[in-house]
Chains A and B, each alone.
Chain A
Amino acid sequence: MLRSIHRWPGLAAALLVLVLALGGAALSVYPALERLGTPQAEGTLSVAELASRVAAAHPGLEQIRRAPSGRVVAWWFDAGKPGAAVIDPATGADLGSPDPLPGLRWLTDLHRTLFLGDSGRLVTAAGAAAMLVLALSGAVLVARRMGGWRRWFDRTRGPFAGRLHVDLARYAVGGLVLSSATALWLTASVFSLLPDEPPEPAPATATAGLPRMELAQIELLSGTPASALKELSFPSPDDPADTYTLTTDGGTALIDPGTGEMLSFVTPGGWERATEIVMMLHTGQGAAALGLLLGLMSLSVPALGITGLVQWLAARRQGLRIRGNAAPGQAETVVLVASEGGTTWGFARTLHQGLTAAGHSVHVGALTAFDPARYGQARRFLILAATYGDGEAPIAARGVLDGLRRLPAPPLAPVAVLGFGDRSFPDFCGFSRALADTARAIGWADLMPMATVDRQSVQDFARWSRDLGTVLGVALELSHLPERPQTQGLRLISRRDYGAEVQAPTAILRFALPRQGLWQRLTGQGFARFEAGDLLGILPEGSDVPRFYSLASAAGDGFVEICVRHHPGGLCSGMLTGLAVGGVVQAFLRRNPDFRPARGSAPVILIGAGTGVGPLAGFIRANRRGRPMHLYFGARSPQSDLLYGADLAHWQRDGRLSRLTTAFSRHGARHYVQDELRADAAQLARLIAAGAQVMVCGGREMAASVREALAEILSGVGQSPASLKAEGRYAEDVY
């Protein structure tokens, strides 16, 4: 619900908000320009002195105004001609025309009314309201995504567009809330919806028959500093009863020009003062630095719009939408999904269809949106939770466990957890298990014991649905047809073969980059943008379940490269290693933004074995800036399966690779990478203490050994792989 509150006004008002934000950003520069271009009066100058100077230079002076920037403008009517000029407060001399800076009026009119008068004002107010709703709902969504308000400023993770969106929003949200809220206030003020009319001093007339006093002798004028002045109007020479009208930050007074006495005065009311403050905050007039800051923050709006749109399109593409989804408050069965990719959502959709057909009212939503209070009619909760790699929570579900522990009381309706994972990992469905344990720990009743689905197994899912049907008292047998991912054909352009001699036939396969349409290039879909470390999903012939390979190239390299080792009996690896140049496979891209060198110039320690060197080689190839990269590479024999052997030597020569350490398990000293790590313990500890990032890619046994070795090495410097991981400095890609 909150997400749709955030999304729909976002899309509908995007253009309007964009115009307002960019106009506002441009306008924010003017107060600062005016401040810079204005000579400032000396601090001790009084209104009387200032007015005397101006009056001496300009006979027929009618009015002096001082802007919050210190800019003084005078109007006079002399010898039948009107005049106006910006005044140098030091001398009273003209500095030039008081016309606003070029573009200011045009921009102001666009920003306030879109050149449409009062109806335009209402439209822009609607735009400001949309902005406010977006900013506030966005702040709540950030809190939810980060796992609570206390983690609001933590490091962001996830796909690039989402990360950028959150990062920008966190920088700008304060300014956007302030700008849009003050805009609404000012609109209300213009339409007289606020009781902020400045009070008028009681009318008064000058004492008749007295000559006008010197300005310096009028106590109120000589006692008021020029810096407090807003406006001083002179009595008309034709009207002997006319008075001075002095307006300062502290009110308005009428002064008798003959006696110098204050005849009447008013001070501003609370509402008036509030409107004045709001005006200052919105325009930056009188607060130029604040204005610039707000302008800078509103510059983020276009980028927020684009990244928001990209996320929305991505969610649509992944098919996260559920047709006929019941409202959260009405549903008896609430299905909560914890998954980034579309597959678990696909299962959720099948479940939704089946239960709805059986007459249940079902709501499907993201687990991150879980809040027991939202589901007033819920009689059961079903959680479908994916686990990534070795027990990792999906990015979309970080903070969920803590959120559950913080619940004041367990939800009343019982829960069933269904885990999705890959049984080849030791911590199979680790995240879903942790979820089920946490649910039990907080006293949340079980609807059914936790069950698992291995590698999208249709049979596992059907079995669980039968059990669920028994509990619900309906016949339920859900056969889930995995949605075939949208693939593109990739043509093999070259292959390099290794390892046949050491019983590890391995190939580096290079495919041509498929042609991308304009739309794909603009939105970064498909193969238009990818980095080494992202995943290439390949659909083997005769199966709809993709296999994933880490990419060893980036889109900028102009080709798609992976390393594949032939596993006996492996459907996909057999097909790939048997592929001849010119052959085509069906493939799609999946981003893996967590496995990428962090930005900056800190050293990177790359550790890989076998085909795991693929993405690491891709990082080195992309390292044109020569950031320190250390590669620990485990293979069997230098003669047979040293993947990228020649390239590594070349990259070392041109500075992309600082140091290469190899470990061969069937040659010479028969070492593994972890042995080499231990041998380099002192240097590694020093590098990591200096901020280095560690990236590991390979089989899970190797990854576990590496973790163990690094834990030993790092214990000396008070670190561990886990603590590095928490800082975002330890990344694994394990298969």
Chain B
Amino acid sequence: MKPAFPLVALAAALSTSVFGVLTAAPIDAPLQARAAAAAEAAQSAPFILLADGHDDDDDDESWGFGGWGHRGGHDDDDDDDDDDDDDDDDDDGRAGATVCPAGQTGCGRAASPAPAGTVEPPANGLFTPGAKPQVQLN
């Protein structure tokens, strides 16, 4: 079974590495921990483990990829989402030329811009119409 050994070693190294990434705590974990602790203090003691289990349920809901979502069962989080949306609306108002508001997922993935020389420079009032940029790299 000697030829199998490298493949087994590879599979072992692979799974431990991937497991490490997939089990990373969400960025707001410290705050969630505090919220959970507060909830626990408010209720009775035996709910410590249930609180942990709750986090896991959140994962499944998000993408089924073992990632972490914040749209779980906590009401606080839902409020956060609403805040996000408000912010986005503000953005749209602020910068007239903005195609995609910063922070909004999904639409930020714009294609790369047209290279110089293939289209006219933007009509932003800085360039004279019909301007042809010249560039030199040394």
Report A's interface with B, CB cutoff 8 A: 153, 167, 170-175, 178, 192, 195, 197, 199-204, 219-220, 222-224, 228, 246-253, 262, 264-270, 273-274, 276-277, 280-281, 286-287, 289-290, 293-294, 297
Instruction: Give Cα A460–Cα B80 distance, bound, in whole angstroms.
Output: 89
Q: Nearest chain B CB to A70's CB is how many angstroms away?
A: 13
Q: A220-B28, A228-B25 are in contact. Are A269 and B111 (CB under 8 A)?
A: no
Q: Do A219 and B6 have beta carbons less than 8 Å apart?
A: no
Is the beta-carbon distance between A264 and B6 smaller than 8 angstroms? no
Determine whether B56 belongs to the interface, using a CB cutoff of 8 Å to chain A: no
Q: How far is the CA of A266 from the CA of B104 in the complex (A)?
A: 10
A291 to chain B: closest residue by CB: B13
Q: Is the CB of B13 within 8 A of A290?
A: yes
CA distance A289 to B111 in the complex (A): 37
Counting contact residues on chain B (CB < 8 A from A), the size range is 35 or more
Asked whether A269 lies within 8 Å of B4 as measured between CB atoms, the reply is: no
Residues of B within 8 A of A268 (CB): 67
- A-B CB proximity, top 9 nearest: A223-B30, A249-B24, A251-B27, A287-B17, A290-B13, A270-B65, A199-B105, A270-B63, A202-B103
Chain B residues within an 8 Å CB radius of A219: 30-31, 34
Which residues of B are found within 8 Å of A202, using beta-carbon distances?
Answer: 83-84, 87-88, 102-104
Contact assessment for B108 and A197 in the assembled complex, using a CB-CB cutoff below 8 Å: yes
Can you sample 18 A-B contacts with CB below 8 Å? A167-B3, A173-B7, A174-B6, A202-B88, A202-B104, A203-B87, A223-B29, A223-B30, A224-B29, A228-B25, A250-B26, A264-B84, A270-B62, A273-B21, A281-B17, A286-B21, A290-B13, A293-B9
Q: Which residues of B are in contact with A by a Cβ distance under 8 Å? A: 1, 3-4, 6-7, 9-11, 13-14, 17-18, 20-22, 24-31, 33-34, 62-65, 67-70, 80, 83-84, 87-88, 91, 102-106, 108-109, 111-112
19 new A-B pairs (CB below 8 Å) besides A175-B10, A290-B17, A297-B6? A171-B6, A192-B112, A199-B108, A200-B104, A200-B108, A202-B83, A202-B88, A203-B91, A223-B34, A252-B27, A253-B28, A264-B103, A267-B70, A269-B105, A273-B22, A277-B17, A277-B22, A287-B13, A287-B20
Partner among A269, A276, A287 whose Cβ is within 8 Å of the Cβ of B63: A269
Nearest CB in chain B to that of A289: its residue: B13
The answer to whether A250 and B29 touch (CB under 8 A), given A201-B103, A293-B6, A297-B6, is: yes
Please, which residues of chain A bring their CB within 8 A of the CB of B63?
269-270
A224 shortest CB reach to chain B, Å = 6
Q: Are A286 and B28 in contact (CB under 8 A)?
A: no
Whether A153 lies near B14 (C-beta < 8 A) is no
Q: Is the Cβ of A197 less than 8 Å from the Cβ of B109?
A: yes
Most chain A beta-carbon neighbours within 10 Å: one of B9, B10, B18:
B10
Asked if A280 and B31 sit within 8 Å, CB to CB, the answer is no
Shortest C-beta distance, B51 to chain A (Å), equals: 16
A286 to chain B, nearest CB (A): 7
When C-beta atoms are compared, the residue in chain B nearest to A167 turns out to be: B3
Closest to B88 in A: A202
In the bound complex, CA of A248 to CA of B24 (Å)? 9
A223 to B25, CA, bound (A): 11
> Nearest chain-B residue to A222 (Cβ)?
B30
Q: Find A265's partner among B14, B28, B67, B106 (CB 8 Å cutoff).
A: B28
CB-based contact B26/A267 at 8 Å: yes
* B14 touching A178, Cβ below 8 Å: yes
On chain A, the residues within 8 Å of B21 by CB distance are 249, 273, 276-277, 280, 286
In the complex, the answer to whether B67 meets A270 with C-beta atoms within 8 Å is: yes
Residue contact B65 to A273, C-beta cutoff 8 Å = yes
Instruction: For B109, give its contact among A192, A220, A247 (CB under 8 Å).
Output: A192
Name the residue of chain B whose CB is nearest to the CB of A247: B27
Chain B residues closer than 8 Å to A274, beta-carbon distance: 65
Judging by beta carbons under 8 Å apart, are B67 and A281 in contact?
Answer: no
Find the residue from B13, B69, B70, B106 having the highest chain A CB count within 10 A.
B13
Q: Select which of A251, A264, A276 is within 8 A of B68 by beta carbon.
A: A251
B109 near A250 with CB under 8 A, answer no
Determine the distance from Cα of A222 to Cα of B30 in the docked complex, in whole angstroms: 9
Q: Residue of A at shortest CB range from B8?
A: A174
Q: How many whole Å from B125's CB to the nearest CB in chain A?
A: 25
Taking a contact as CB atoms closer than 8 A, the residue among B28, B84, B104 that contacts A262 in the complex is B28
Once the chains bind, are B6 and A265 in contact (CB under 8 Å)?
no
Q: When A174-B7, A192-B109, A202-B83 are in contact, do A251 and B30 touch as well, CB less than 8 Å?
A: no
Taken together as a complex, chains A and B put the C-alpha atoms of A265 and B20 apart, in Å, by 22
- Whether B103 lies near A228 (C-beta < 8 A) is no
Which residues of the other chain, B, contact A297 by a CB distance below 8 angstroms? 6, 10
